[in-house]
Structure 1
Amino acid sequence: MPAEAPLLGAIEAGGTKFVLGVGTGADAIVDQVQIPTRDPETTLAETIAFFRKHPGLAAIGIGSFGPLERDRSAAKWGHILATPKPGWSDCDLAGTIARALGVPVAFDTDVNAAALAEARLGAARDAKVSVYVTIGTGIGGGVIADGRIVGGTGHPELGHMRPRRAPDDREFAGHCPFHGDCLEGLASGPAIIARWGQSLSHLAPDHDAHGIIAGYLAEMCNTLRAALAPDAIALGGGVMGTPGLFERIVAEAGTCDGGYFALSAEKVIRRPALAPISGLAGAFLLAADLL
């Protein structure tokens, strides 16, 4: 008889909420809860209490907001690094969970986890190289090649590339505390609210913001196509819930690429297939890979 699949834990650790799951995989979750992200002590205590209700866990996978240290050979592996999230800088997230529960822990960014899930199980299953980008409170991305996460000393910071400014969007200084008008500083949810006073989905369909944001995100997609030659780019996150935005991005990317790329924008740019649990599904995969 085949061996019984091990019981795994999964954590999608976001700046707003933690999503916790237990099961043998993303398609076999036996328990799942969502808790608000507060201070580390409160949030991690509640997280640990949830997993203690499920003895026998073989491993836990964590996909977390960052920046973070994902290199296991580094002294601060498992830590969240300098983050604007109050109280979380230098938090030993993975170590705290591992010591409290006595199980091996896998640790990576939430977008890397989501990218892994979409590559293996979702919208990019047919792709040799794929990118997942989330556009929400921040902008982040993960790159997968041959089924594995791409990363060196750190992890990709796609939100901090500098797009060419739109001619009619020169006055706004940008919302990123580090770089001002990087992509995150121009097209993230908070940047849109800082610029126009409302989220993109609440602005009138004919508002200039829709074209401006679509243009920046289309430029990001074409930059990724030029740099990485991906077969698939999946665009997720709250901002992408704006009606018509996805279609605008694809159309703009196709217009601006000048027919240069082998694959059309329509083939490459995709919606995530696993939303809203792409990150949690990826955390299960991280745990399984650790075993």
Structure 2
Amino acid sequence: MNTSGAYVAGIEAGGTKFVCAVGSGPDDIRAETRFPTTRPEETIGQALAFFREQVERYGPPAAIGIAAFGPLDPNPVSPTFGTITSTPKPGWRDADLAGPLRAAFGAPVAFDTDVNGAALGEWRWGAAQGLDNFVYLTIGTGVGGGGMVNGRLMHGLVHPEMGHIPLPHDRVADPYPGRCPFHGDCLEGMAAGPAVGERWGRPAYELPPDHPAWDLEAHYLALALQGLICTLSPERIILGGGVMEQPQLMPMVRQKVQSYLNGYVQSPAILERIDSYIVPPALGNRAGVLGAFALAHQAI
């Protein structure tokens, strides 16, 4: 057994796929695997099998970080810590993610939302370095938000659910009712990738750059950012997720944010440097699993 060099284990537990890795940071990812999110028993079993192989190679991990889809319970003193809670994903309600990992490897386990994890990764290694207050929003299969206030990840009753904030909805201009099973036309219900595809009858990634879908998407995202800026006053906003991979979308969002704020927030970051205020994640599509690493480092 090779025990050279301390390492951590990380899981990006997404609603469609799990990414498991071991290492210590962006320049030290020693092994990685990914597989579809199926039933909890099968999916968690695959993660356990992968980490057992790594223990044979590297020895036990110093800690395990899990950045998961939610809603979930991130409170370490709660009896349901480490579980998925009121998710609409079939079979996953009340599924325990942290317990089996802790039992198998005896290491400290950190557990938080995938977006808070990605935010922590960006703070440690990426686009939020040096900041105490920022927001990370991911727009993909769902919409989630997290970040830091005064240097601490956002928590309270549970965790932020920025994807479920209500938005102004002009039903004449956009009669689409929204697809959130809980709230209909909340931000996720109107702007997540599946909502875009359902509204226009084609997957979002198939829509051309000049399609009217993107102006509407930018509109909803800018409305959400306007509210978050006025509520939390973040020093930077990071926009990730598959929908934001459309290159034409980021400039449209920035322009609409400036327009909707209408000069009210008198900060050069918004008035003069919007391109460096609303930014993509520096860690790219590795933000999730590196966020799990960052959570594990916090647990040590």
The bucket for the TM-score relative to the shorter chain is over 0.9
Range moving further from structure 2, 27-36 or 61-70: 27-36
Q: SS of the residue aligned with 1:171?
A: coil
Which runs of at least 4 in structure 1 moved beyond 6 Å after TM superposition? none
Query: What is residue 286 of structure 1 aligned with on the other side?
Result: 295
Identity %: 46
Q: SS of the residue aligned with 1:224?
A: helix
1:272 paired to 2:281: yes
Of 242, 262, 285, the residue aligned with 1:258 is 262
The alpha carbon displacement at 1:166 in A equals 4.2
Query: What is residue 141 of structure 2 aligned with on the other side?
Result: 137
Q: SS of the residue aligned with 2:10?
A: strand
5 Å matches for 1:82-93?
82-93=86-97
Query: What is residue 50 of structure 2 aligned with on the other side?
Result: 50
Q: Distance in 2 between matches of 1:38 and 1:188?
A: 21
Q: Distance in 2 between matches of 1:168 and 1:202?
A: 25
After TM superposition, the score normalised by the length of structure 1 is 0.95
Q: Distance in 1 between matches of 2:51 and 2:209?
A: 45
Query: What is residue 107 of structure 2 aligned with on the other side?
Result: 103
Q: Distance in 1 between matches of 2:170 and 2:256?
A: 13
List alignment gaps of at least 5 residues for structure 2. none
The residue identity in structure 2 corresponding to 1:276 is N
List alignment gaps of at least 5 residues for structure 1. none
1:102-134 deviation per Cα after TM superposition (whole angstroms, max 9, x unaligned): 222111111000011112211121422111100
Query: What is residue 190 of structure 1 aligned with on the other side?
Result: 194
Q: Distance in 2 between matches of 1:54 and 1:267?
A: 39
- Superposition RMSD on alpha carbons, in Å? 1.5
1:230-288 deviation per Cα after TM superposition (whole angstroms, max 9, x unaligned): 11100000111123011110111111211222131333211110011111111111111
After TM superposition, the score normalised by the length of structure 2 is 0.92
Q: SS of the residue aligned with 2:25?
A: coil
The residue identity in structure 2 corresponding to 1:50 is F
Q: Distance in 2 between matches of 1:80 and 1:167?
A: 34
The residue identity in structure 2 corresponding to 1:139 is V
Of 55, 66, 72, the residue aligned with 1:68 is 72
Query: What is residue 206 of structure 1 aligned with on the other side?
Result: 210
Q: Distance in 1 between matches of 2:262 and 2:169?
A: 19
Q: Distance in 2 between matches of 1:252 and 1:158?
A: 19
1:243 paired to 2:247: yes
Aligned residues: 288
Q: Distance in 2 between matches of 1:200 and 1:194?
A: 9
Q: Distance in 1 between matches of 2:240 and 2:291?
A: 14
